[in-house]
Chains A and B, each alone.
Chain A
Amino acid sequence: MFLKLKRNFLLFLGLAIVLTMAFLAVFAPYLTPYTPTEQNLDKMLFAPCAEHIMGTDAVGRDIFTRLLYGARVSLWVGFIAVGISSLIGVTLGLISGYFGGMIDEIIMRIVDIMLCFPSFFLILAVIAFLEPSVINIMIVIGFTSWTGLARLVRAETLSMRERDFISAAKLSGAGKMRILCVHILPNTLAPVLVSATLGTAGAILVESSLSFLGLGVQPPDPSWGNILLDGKDVLTNAPWLSLFPGLAIFITVLGYNLLGESLRDILDPRLKQR
């Protein structure tokens, strides 16, 4: 059932997009004769042609090359940010759900506060203060996007806590750590995987928004957002400079969303309704 192409068309489409993007990012140097920061003032603002399939920018850099290297940044940010937020979300969710009481109350109130935060405001302020850099972006996105997952894992843990196999584990003398890590954690992996996939899409969008505002990846290093920012200034005479990076973001985010939603349908039929 899992591998029926016709039934899971969207899953395969998503997977294909995700894998293609990963491939392009990993093998970027072998796929283009140019480097992302090499300027060529004889070739400023070339329209797409055989030599430069996506044209060149205002200082003659090849857009296709910059997009390939930009993919590296975007995917890295997505993965690391999601890694951080998953780690925080899962840990707090497990603790909150399993121990309950005062700890649960405190953690859930923190979640409430975070949900009321205009988090993009906070991200913007922190990035501007700490100097914009890829590392800071990863950390800040990671630290502001764990709330949804914490709630999910908590709910899952709560429903797991009273099951017979947990009682059995307790009776056979398993400690709290063992029960949490060996018996409960694996059962929460499905929602974690789904939320990580969707979270990657979200993180990529936030990173490109930040770079578009000039607070993300700093030039001359390429990122999809800052190529778009370059494109904004020459919108009238070089529309391709705005078209392609946006398309890259769009397709990548679409791929992760499709993959995440299809995984949710397959892994957890109960969640399908939501």
Chain B
Amino acid sequence: MLFSMHAVWYFIKKLLWVFLIFTGITLISFFVMHLAPGSPTDMQTSLNPLVNEAYRAKLNALYGLDKPVYEQYFDWFSRLVQFDFGNSLSGDGRPVLDKIMERLPLTVGLNVTSLLLALVIALPIGIISAVHQGKFIDKLFTFLVFLGFAMPGFWLALLLMMYLGIEHGILPISGITGLDFQELSFWGKCFDVARHLFLPVLVSTVGAIAGTSRFLRSSMLEVLRQDYILTAKAKGLTKRCVIYKHALRNALLPVITLLGLSVPGLIGGSVIIESIFALPGLGQLFYGAVMARDYPLIMGNLVFGAVLTLAGNLLADFCYKLADPRISLHSPK
């Protein structure tokens, strides 16, 4: 049933739609970048007294910066669809794709880990809050969730660094490996990396718990009001069975969408987390690229950010359809 003609059509339409959004994102980013004053060649030329206008023009021509913006966009986009992101404008001149790919695993790994952790922790909080709505435990959790919402991630990071890293010296506060990394055994290496990533994961998890548990609570409350829950109760099923079998499954559905939508926030947040903990991830790469006005690298990062977001949304969409039998893949009339 899942792979019927309707399903195929649905996914073709979805893919077209994704391509459209993707093009929109690249368009906006490209024009915003290029209409801003200043040029990447300023960095290389402004401090050099030997540079004259002719040389500057030559340099601009080398990078294709002398053409009109729309022409630059078409050039860039037609290379992009062949997975050619161009070369970085920085000193090493390496391909943008290589630079991004070597940073990608850390950022994605970090975010996926904290997202899953947040989900595991938020689940009981949301359920208990909803089942005991208005009671003391619900109020306590609500209060804690508010604290979590208001907590600036970078402040929490500094506090944890101060307390766990400096005062007690339990955890390392920056980088991804210790100085003696090369001499460690395989498990020693794993442990070393885990120790280094503990604080960053903790900080981004705390940020995600608040939103997820709050959302699960309201979704659970809505489900608990439905008639089929009343039916289940009237049949004489135990409370446990009603909550975990009937209610939770339905309440979890919107959370899937929420997780898909939280991807852009996580990607943005990694700039801060990675700069505090000195982690060599995508966020740090982007920050460096912005500071150096490295156009191809900035655009590459934005494209990857968009791709990750769209992939997250598509995955969420797919899981949702898989999990909810009420939504068929027949096109809605």
Q: A residues bordering B, Cβ < 8 Å?
A: 109-110, 112-113, 115-122, 124-126, 128-130, 201, 205, 208-209, 212-213, 228, 231-232, 235-236, 239, 242-243, 245-247, 249-251, 253-254, 257-258, 261, 273-274
Which of B31-39, B43-51, B231-239, B325-333 lines the interface with chain A?
B31-39
- In contact, B166 and A250 (Cβ under 8 angstroms): no
Q: Judging by beta carbons under 8 Å apart, are A120 and B269 in contact?
A: yes
Apart from A122-B28, A125-B29, A257-B150, 4 more pairs, CB < 8 Å: A116-B310, A129-B37, A258-B146, A273-B222
Known contacts: A128-B291, A242-B159, A257-B146. The answer to whether A213 contacts B33 by CB under 8 A is no
Residues of A within 8 A of B298 (CB): 125
A55 to chain B, nearest CB (A): 15
Encoded as 1 (CB less than 8 Å from any A CB) or 0, chain B from 123 to 167 comes to 000000000000000000000001101111111001101100010
**Is B25's CB within 8 Å of the partner chain A?**
yes
Q: Are B261 and A115 in contact (CB under 8 A)?
A: yes
In the bound complex, do residue B293 and residue A129 qualify as a contact, i.e. CB atoms below 8 Å apart? yes
Q: Is the interface of B mostly helix, strand, loop or mixed?
A: helix
Q: Mark B248-269, 1 if CB is under 8 A from A, else 0.
A: 0000000000000101110111
Distance in Å: Cβ of B243 to nearest Cβ of chain A: 18
Are the CB atoms of B290 and A124 closer together than 8 Å?
Answer: yes
Alpha-carbon distance between A258 and B150 when the two chains are bound, in angstroms: 10
The reply to whether A118 and B36 contact each other, CB–CB distance below 8 Å, is no
B146 and A213 contact, CB distance less than 8 A: no
Give a binary string over B63-102; 1 marks a CB under 8 Å from any A CB, 0 the rest: 0000000000000000000000000000000000000000
Q: Check A121–B159 contact: CB distance below 8 A.
A: no
Question: CA–CA, A117 to B26, complex, Å?
Answer: 10
Across the interface, name the chain A residue whose C-beta is closest to B301.
Answer: A121
A42 to chain B, nearest CB (A): 27
- The number of inter-chain residue pairs (CB within 8 angstroms) is 135
**Bound-state Cα–Cα, A239 to B158, Å:** 9
Residues of B within 8 A of A257 (CB): 146, 149-150
Q: Are A213 and B25 in contact (CB under 8 A)?
A: no
Determine how close the nearest CB of chain B comes to the CB of A216; give it in whole angstroms. Answer: 12
Instruction: Known contacts A125-B290, A129-B33, A235-B162; decide if A119 and B264 are in contact (CB<8 Å).
Output: yes
- B residues 290-318 in Cβ contact with A at 8 Å: 290-291, 293, 298, 301-302, 305-306, 309-310, 313
Assembly CA distance A247 to B24 (angstroms): 39
Q: Which residues of B contact A129 (CB under 8 A)?
A: 33, 36-38, 290, 293
Residue A118 contacts which of B147, B149, B268, B291 (CB distance < 8 angstroms)? B268
Please pick, from A116, A253, A274, the residue contacting B306 in the complex, using a CB distance under 8 A: A116
Q: Are A201 and B33 in contact (CB under 8 A)?
A: no
- Are B37 and A130 in contact, with the CB atoms below 8 A? yes
Please, how many angstroms separate the alpha-carbon atoms of A73 and B155 in the complex? 18
Q: A121-B268, A236-B166 are in contact. Are A246 and B159 (CB under 8 A)?
A: yes
The 8 A-B pairs of least Cβ separation, nearest first, read A120-B268, A246-B155, A129-B36, A254-B150, A118-B305, A253-B150, A113-B24, A118-B267
Is B275 interfacial (CB 8 A cutoff)? yes
Residue of B nearest to A247 (CB): B155
CB-CB under 8 A from A261, the residues of chain B are 146
CB distance from A71 to the nearest CB of B (A): 15
B184 at the interface (CB under 8 A from A): no
Determine how close the nearest CB of chain A comes to the CB of B26; give it in whole angstroms. Answer: 10
Tell me the complex Cα distance, A109–B147, Å: 34
